[in-house]
Amino acid sequence: MFVSDCRREFYDLIVTQRVLLLVASDVDALCACKILQALFQCDHVQYTLVPVAGWQELETAFLEHKDQFKYFVLINCGANVDLLEILQPEEDTYFFVCDSHRPINVVNVYNDTQIKLLVKQEDDLDVPAYDDIFRDEEEEEEEEEDSEKESDGSEPLEKRRRFEEEVIERTMKRRQRREWEARRREILFDYEQYEYHGTSSAMVMFDLAWVMSKDLNDMLWWAIVGLTDQWVQDKITQMKYVTDIGILQRHVSRHNHRNEDEENSLSIDCMRIAFEYDLRLALYQHWSLYESLCNTCYTSASLKLWSVQGQKRLQEFLADMGLPLKQVKQKFNSMDMSLKENLREMIEESANKFGMKDLRVQTFSIHFGFKNKFSASDIVYATTSLMENIEKEGPETTNFIKALDSLSRGNLDKLHQGLDLAKKQLRAIQQTVASCICTNLVISQGPFLYCSLMEGTPDVKLFSKPVSLCLLSKYLLKSFVCSTKNKRCKLLPLVMAAPMDVEQGTVIMVGIPPETESSDKKNFFGRAFEKAAESTSSRTLHNHFQMSIIELKTEDRSKFLDALISLLS
């Protein structure tokens, strides 16, 4: 059931209760969790936080805690499957689901009592009408029983006539029923075929805080980071991103208008958010401009930096802007001020000449103290790499907690650690992409492109985590589209596989939609993977909340792929 008034139907209910928060492992969920935690702290709500990385963990956590809690809040998990069937809860447990995964399962939408969806209604959800999917089962049975009874007691002649009529009626009904069921299957198939993402959960939580007039600049910043995470991971369309940025821009000007007033300006330690039409280069203010140009997907793909020609083009690009190599290779903060002043406009002009039309993007940046300035995408990269840090430093949840902490302003050391890890990750991605393209590892299988990372590849361990692998696949697809001359291949989606756990012999596989100008980011690989796994009875684990990411055994890989090819062609 959709919650229309977040405050009355959600927050006021849980403010006096103990709540269990189940949070998925992505940056948007972390930001939403932070906002909700801040609200809970204001009102002294008792809660327990459990990070979950997949369906199995969700079930385990639920089983552990179901005796102690009646109210569960699920963040970025749980909307796209039938929750009641998976978790089998008691009658009096309530689930509040704030999830950006779509499509929302129809059972969750039409359940009136236990499942409440914290979703904005403006999102085009296209949920099928109730009558098309559900039918009163009892009516059907009664009618059949009646008709059977009637056929027993009557006189012979009339009996036969009536019997014939009833047989005709019954066959008509059965045919209607079969037609209805076929239509239902078709509707459900269309509805659930494509996976996509709706509004960021962090923005939904910020809305809740705003409605309660408890919104702070900090919470606004987390909402911005949640939205930027969706953009960095290519989960939403450009149009939606721009619309959401507009919404957040209004909040930003409301909170941050005091900076212009000289008389009453805020202390320098106060946090300020500013809207910027900034460069799309990853981490460029914490790195050198040269490194950033080399390791950002957009520039490296457009300039084709994996080839020698590409390197020459980069030099031409820098020369065109008039930036000396020595300046560009040192840390950004140490570059000459005269070069930094008009940097954005200069780069945009030159970029237009080299075919990079979208080098600037609308985003926000945060500024507190004298030396701390971060852009939203910096924080996204840092938090993602902290969360998926492969170095095990304790129990499983330390990475999650560390990433959660790094979002607070007081934990700058964790943030800087995250930035360093992010630089390593971006470099590893670039090198892997370059090697894949140079060695032609991306092969066309017919209906899709396929690339598989071998075990001995450097940094392959980094890509055993889902988000990193998704980032790698998107960069690879973009670079491949720029490098190939085959027009048909440019429109194909990509399936990427990487070794996950060498001891257990598992492989993690990711499917991403094709890279087109006006892509609507809808991904059909979720259902395709399910069907292929069923038909070949491969040992797969659909553990991830996003259906297009699965794990399977290395031995079953080839037959799985064959099934997938035959399914999609």
Partner 1 sequence: MEPAEVEFLAEKELVTIVPNFSLDRIHLIGGDLGPFNPGLPVEVPVWLAINLKQRQKCRLIPPEWMDVGKLEEIRDQERKEDTFTPMPSPYYMELTKLLLNYASDNIPRADEIRTLVKDTWDTRMAKLRLSADSFVRQQEAHAKHPACPQQALPSSPSFQPFQALAQLLQQFCTDTNAHHNPGQGENRSKNPESSLVRRENQHRSCYKARLHPSQAPQHGEG
Among 188, 270, 401, 565, binds partner 1 (CB under 8 A): 270
Q: Based on the shown chain and the rule CB under 8 A, indicate whether residue 214 belongs to the binding site for partner 1.
A: yes
Residue 373, beta-bridge partner list: 367
Least distance to partner 1 from the beta carbon of 122, Å?
28
Q: Which two tokens stand for residue 61?
A: 């956590």
d(CA 321, CA 348): 10
167 makes contact with partner 1 (CB under 8 A): no
38 vs 77 by CB, closer to partner 1: 38
User: Which tokens hold the place of 129?
Assistant: 């009408």
Span of 27-35, 36-44, 57-65, 199-207 interacting with partner 1 by CB under 8 A: 36-44
Interface pick for partner 1 out of 17, 42, 319, 345 (rule CB under 8 A): 42
12 lies in the binding site for partner 1 (CB under 8 A) = no
Burial class of residue 563 (count of CB atoms within 10 Å of its CB; 0-12, 13-18, 19+): buried
How far apart are the C-alpha atoms of 26 and 244, rounded to whole Å? 19
Tell me if 190 contacts partner 1 by CB under 8 A. Answer: no
In the complex, the smallest distance separating the C-beta of residue 75 from partner 1, rounded to whole angstroms, is 22
Show the binding pattern over residues 337-376: x = contacts partner 1 (CB under 8 A), - = does not.
Answer: ----------------------------------------
User: Which of 61, 216, 247, 274 forms a contact with partner 1 (CB under 8 A)?
Assistant: 216
State in angstroms the smallest separation of the CB of 409 from partner 1: 13
What tokens does 540 get? 């797969």
- Residue length of the chain: 569
Q: How far is the CB of 365 from partner 1 (least distance, A)?
A: 19
Q: Is 319 in the site for partner 1 (CB under 8 A)?
A: no
Shortest distance in whole angstroms from residue 252 CB to partner 1: 16
Burial class (CB in 10 A: 0-12, 13-18, 19+), 530: middle
Between 270 and 339, whose beta carbon lies closer to partner 1? 270
Contact between 45 and partner 1 per CB under 8 A: no
Minimum gap (Å) between residue 366 Cβ and partner 1: 15
- Which range in 193-201, 266-274, 306-314, 422-430 contacts partner 1 by CB under 8 A? 266-274
- Give the span between the Cα atoms of 522 and 53, in whole angstroms: 22
C-alpha distances (whole Å) from 568 to each of 174, 450, 528, 529, 561 are: 33, 13, 8, 10, 11
Q: What is the CA radius of gyration of the chain?
A: 27
DSSP category for residue 507? E
For residues 139 and 132, what is the distance between their CA atoms, to the nearest angstrom? 16
Segment interacting with partner 1 (CB under 8 A) among 68-76, 83-91, 209-217, 549-557: 209-217
User: Phi first, then psi: what are they for 25, rounded to 5°?
Assistant: -95, 65
Question: Hey, what amino acid is at 542?
Answer: H
171/265 with CB nearer partner 1: 265
* Contact flag: residue 268 with partner 1 (CB under 8 A): yes
DSSP code, position 16: T
Strands 115-117 and 94-98: parallel
By CB under 8 A, tell whether 266 contacts partner 1.
yes
Q: Which two tokens stand for residue 227?
A: 């939205």
| Minimum distance from residue 276 beta carbon to partner 1 (Å) | 22
Segment near partner 1 (CB under 8 A); pick from 38-46, 59-67, 331-339, 408-416: 38-46
Minimum distance of partner 1 from residue 227's CB (angstroms): 23
Per rule CB under 8 A, is residue 41 in the interface with partner 1? yes
In this chain, which stretch among 10-18, 125-133, 212-220, 398-406 interacts with partner 1, using CB under 8 A?
Answer: 212-220
482: closest CA among 279, 235, 296, 297?
A: 297
Pairwise CA distance, residues 135 & 127, whole Å: 16
Which of 269, 358, 455, 534 lies at the binding interface for partner 1 (CB under 8 A)? 269
184, 133 contact by CB (below 8 A): yes
**Nearest distance, CB of residue 108 and partner 1, angstroms:** 33
Element holding 141 (H helix, E strand): helix 137-150
Binding footprint of partner 1, residue count (CB under 8 A): 14
* Residue recorded with tokens 């006096």: 16
Determine which residue in the list 124, 152, 260, 263 makes contact with partner 1, applying CB under 8 A. 263
Q: Phi then psi for 120, rounded to 5 degrees?
A: -75, 135
- Distances, alpha carbon 483 to alpha carbons 232, 281, 427, 436, in Å: 22, 20, 19, 12
User: Would you say 4 or 213 has its CB closer to partner 1?
Assistant: 213
Residue with tokens 């971060």: 374
Name the residues that contact partner 1, by CB under 8 A: 41-43, 213-214, 216, 263-270
